[in-house]
Amino acid sequence: MGKLTTLLKEFHLASNISIFIYDQHKKLVNQFKQTVSPNFPEKFLAKIDFPLPEGVVKIFNTSHNECFSVITITKNSPKTIIFWCNIQTIAALGYFRDSFPSISLERLVSYTKILYFSLFQKLPVIKQPDFISDLSFTAEEKAEKLNDDDINLYHNSYYKEKLMLQALEKGILVEFRPRLADFINSGNFGKMAIGNELRNSKNLLIAATTLFTRAAIKGGMHPESAYQLSDRCVQRIERLRKIDSIVDLTQEIGEIFVKRVRATQNFSNSSLIFLIQDYIFKHLTEPVDLTLMANQLGYSKNYLCRSFKQATKQTIVEYANEQKIREIQSQLVFSNKTVTEIASMLGFYDQSYLTKLFKKYLNTTPTQFRKKYHL
């Protein structure tokens, strides 16, 4: 089960599809999905007869453009795997509107074939999708559905927003995720633009990025570093031509800030240390020159190095290299600059030294890192 879990986790990261694993009694035993994404609907689960015979693949489609595939593994104890995609706008708890990552039925079939081949070393024979008529759900949906005019929609809870941002300030990812989910489920995102859903979505994401930036600074992230990261996130948001999920993007951006806060929490905020950090951020694109830094800050080089080492337990050069590595990561994720261009931009004499430093800190090369995380 360990290898299967690892494989499905990688599939989720690569495809952003929600994946659910059930035992032979239709009990959920594991899942891979965004924290705030819904669970697989019980109404669909009831329509599936499983466990299926090993080697059989079933594809289901509905008139609401939802689609999911089912594969059963019978080795040891039977396990049924469900890939679920939905390109229909949904309402969660009657409060906010969002949509799943956009994916076609054809792409779902392709992903299913790849997983099947990974499991059985052969390609499956997939018949036409089974169609689930929405008429079978009409009665229960009518019973649950409320007229939009009768629902009082409220903005997200300010109290739960504070709890979410406090988790970000502390740099605790396992606390941030559920508090973000609580915040999102507490109300409505609101409207910042009328008649243009894309513009409204971008405005909401930019507003969330602004909140995350302020919280990250309060959590100890250097202001210049936080503002630079914020700028890159906003620039990326503005370049988007389509936004499938405000929730997923909000979570991704928030987690970037949480990790940055966590990485910078151990540094002292004394005046001298702050001056050194500020100097490094403002000269991040230049080679580290301790003599020039000392002259501009008005201290001796030995005093600067000794004070910084005592306060942070690392040298100024080590700290500067860490900040450069973080900037390289950001450039690899958010930009299309080549590794050579990034090296030149950050004051490295050649690409090979950048690659050597990057591998020392992250145990991977810039090319491998970009291949895995580039947006």
Is residue 8 helix, strand or coil? helix
> What is the model's pLDDT at position 213?
95
End-to-end CA distance of the chain: 31
Q: What is the dihedral of CA 172, 178, 180, 186, to 10 degrees?
A: -150
Please name the residues in contact with 166: beta carbons below 8 A apart, sequence gap of 6 or more. Answer: 179, 215
Answer yes or no: are the C-beta atoms of 279 and 222 closer than 8 Å.
no
> What is the model's pLDDT at position 153?
54
> What is the model's pLDDT at position 266?
55
> What is the model's pLDDT at position 86?
61
- Per-residue pLDDT tens digits of the chain, which is 375 residues long: 678 888 888 888 877 788 999 988 889 999 988 766 678 888 888 888 877 877 778 888 875 557 888 998 887 778 899 988 764 333 333 333 333 344 567 778 888 888 888 888 888 877 777 777 554 444 444 444 444 444 445 688 888 899 999 999 988 887 898 889 888 888 787 788 888 888 989 999 999 999 999 999 988 888 888 998 999 999 999 998 888 788 888 999 999 999 888 877 655 456 788 888 888 888 888 888 999 998 888 888 998 999 899 888 899 999 999 888 888 888 888 888 898 889 888 888 778 888 888 998 889 999 898 888 775
Residue at token pair 């927003």: 161
Is residue 145 helix, strand or coil? coil
Bond prior to 41 in cis (omega within 30° of 0): no
Q: What distances in angstroms separate CA 116 from CA 54, 76, 143, 311, 353, one per listed residue?
A: 11, 17, 39, 54, 42
Burial label, 174 (beta-carbon count in 10 A; 0-12, 13-18, 19+): exposed
Answer yes or no: are the C-beta atoms of 212 and 184 closer than 8 Å.
no
Answer yes or no: are the C-beta atoms of 252 and 279 closer than 8 Å.
no
Amino acid identity of residue 108, one-letter, is L
Distance CA 305, CA 318 (A): 11
Answer yes or no: are the C-beta atoms of 181 and 157 closer than 8 Å.
no
Distance CA 7, CA 118 (A): 9
Please name the residues in contact with 189: beta carbons below 8 A apart, sequence gap of 6 or more. Answer: 96, 97, 155, 156, 204, 246
In sequence order, what E strands does 99-150 have? 130-132
Distance CA 215, CA 205 (A): 15
> What is the model's pLDDT at position 135?
46
**Considering only CA atoms, which of 109, 113, 111 is closest in space to residue 128?**
109
Distance CA 233, CA 242 (A): 15
**Considering only CA atoms, which of 150, 66, 79 is closest in space to residue 108?**
66
> What is the model's pLDDT at position 290?
93
Angular region, 149: left φ>0, alpha ψ -120 to 50, beta rest: alpha
DSSP codes, 22-70: EETTS-EEEEE--TTSPPPPHHHHTT---SPPTT-EEEEEETTSEEEEE
Distance CA 195, CA 302 (A): 61
Token pair for 203: 């405005």
Amino acid identity of residue 179, one-letter, is R
DSSP letter, residue 257: H
Give the pairing of strands 57-62 and 96-98: unpaired
Longest CA–CA separation in the chain, Å: 79
Is residue 155 helix, strand or coil? strand
> What is the model's pLDDT at position 91?
31
